[in-house]
Amino acid sequence: ERHLCQLDYILLSKGLAASNATAVPDIIRNGQPWRTIFPPGQEVERFPRAGWDRPKASDHCPVAITLDMT
């Protein structure tokens, strides 16, 4: 099937989660191949060399989050 699904997660300890309750992860989907269908309103600008199936960055999308560690 050609759909999006979540493969990777960021897991925090209870303390970090509590002190960063409003932190929102950034999911970088630009490396997905053109065959990947994005839901309406969630389309992204793909990296210049991404192909229909290959080349692609990965089936996994990097996930980043900024946390307050103090």
Report which of 49, 65, 55 is spatially closest to residue 8, judged by C-alpha positions. Answer: 65
CB 44 within 8 A of CB 33: no
pTM of the model: 0.73
pLDDT of the residue at 59: 75
Q: Which residue has the tokens 């996930």?
A: 63
pLDDT of the residue at 4: 74
Element (H, E) at 27: strand 26-27
What three-state secondary structure class fits 14? helix
Supply 37's token pair. Answer: 């269908």
Q: Which domain holds residue 11?
A: 1-70
pLDDT per position as a tens digit, 27-56: 999 999 998 888 889 899 999 999 999 998
Q: Which residue has the tokens 């309750």?
A: 21
Number of domains in the chain: 1
